Amino acid sequence: MAAKKALKKCLQKLSSKEFKEFTDSLLDREGEPRVYKNQIEGKDYMEVTNVMVNVFSEKNVLSVAAEVLRDANLEGLADELGAAAPPPAGVKVVAGPTSASPAPSASGSLSEKEFVDKYRAELAKKLTDTNPLLDLLCSKKVLNDNSYAEIKALPTDNQRMSKLLFGSYVKSAPTCSILFNYLKDEQPFLVEELLES
């Protein structure tokens, strides 16, 4: 019940306009499972919280809500909610060198989502064979058939990776976990190179 309480508390802080932006982003969210308009139209923050917990499960609802908040340009609340979210099952902390940035993280390690978020641009440039990754994401229901066909239709691997990584497809922690594990298995040297950069 902790996740439900944290989400309810977070949504309660939104202004009417922000709440509308949040629900619009929730409806626009790609991937399954989904929330549909008839489930939340005209509902208040408590009812939307209940719908989200029912659709995404107590275990995943906070990471999905943080993703939706970011899509609605409500990063502050997304970070606050993300801090309250336990990592989804199967997400391991990736050991890496301390960042070379002026304010390195205390632990010197990244979660799978943090890795993808940090290296999104480099991944878009350096991943040259997109077909196996697109097939995997389609089989895991991250991409539906239309999204898969739309991305595959782009003329270059670089364009396909940019569309995939900078679109709304690879945003949630579970999706980032799928991508990271794919990279770890298929592109271990790339992962190592990025962590050492």
| Reported pTM | 0.45
Q: What is the three-class DSSP state of 111? A: strand
Q: Which long-range contacts (CB under 8 A, 24 or more apart) does 97-101 make?
A: 97/195, 97/196, 100/197
Amino acid 128 reads T
Amino acid 163 reads K
User: Which domain-ending residue is among 84, 103, 138?
Assistant: 84
Sole residue written with tokens 């906070």: 62
Q: Are 18 and 75 in contact (CB under 8 A)?
A: no
User: Which domain-ending residue is among 67, 84, 101?
Assistant: 84
**What integer pLDDT is reported at residue 83 of this predicted model?**
63
Most confidently predicted of 45-54, 59-68, 85-94: 45-54
State the residue range of the domain holding 76: 2-84
DSSP labels for 117-170?
HHHHHHHHHH----HHHHHHHHHTTSS-HHHHHHHHTSSSHHHHHHHHHHSSSS
Query: Across the strands, what pairs with 94?
Result: 110
% the chain with pLDDT above 70: 86
% the chain with pLDDT above 90: 5
**What integer pLDDT is reported at residue 82 of this predicted model?**
65
Sole residue written with tokens 């064979």: 129
Q: Same structural domain for residues 153 and 104?
A: yes
What's the total number of domains in the chain?
Answer: 2
Given a cut of 50, whether residue 76 has pLDDT beyond it is yes
Sole residue written with tokens 């509308």: 20
The token pair that represents 126 in the structure block: 């350096």
Q: How confident is the model at residue 1 (pLDDT cuts 50, 70, 90)?
A: low
Query: Across the strands, what pairs with 111?
Result: 93
**What integer pLDDT is reported at residue 4 of this predicted model?**
86
**What integer pLDDT is reported at residue 153 of this predicted model?**
92
Q: Same structural domain for residues 80 and 97?
A: no
**What integer pLDDT is reported at residue 32 of this predicted model?**
79
Given a cut of 80, whether residue 133 has pLDDT beyond it is yes
Q: How confident is the model at residue 85 (pLDDT cuts 50, 70, 90)?
A: low
**What integer pLDDT is reported at residue 84 of this predicted model?**
59
* Cα(8)–Cα(2) distance, integer angstroms: 10
Q: Same structural domain for residues 80 and 138?
A: no
Q: How confident is the model at residue 106 (pLDDT cuts 50, 70, 90)?
A: very low
Q: Same structural domain for residues 66 and 142?
A: no
Q: What's the CATH code of the domain at 128?
A: 1.10.533.10
Higher pLDDT, 93 or 83: 83
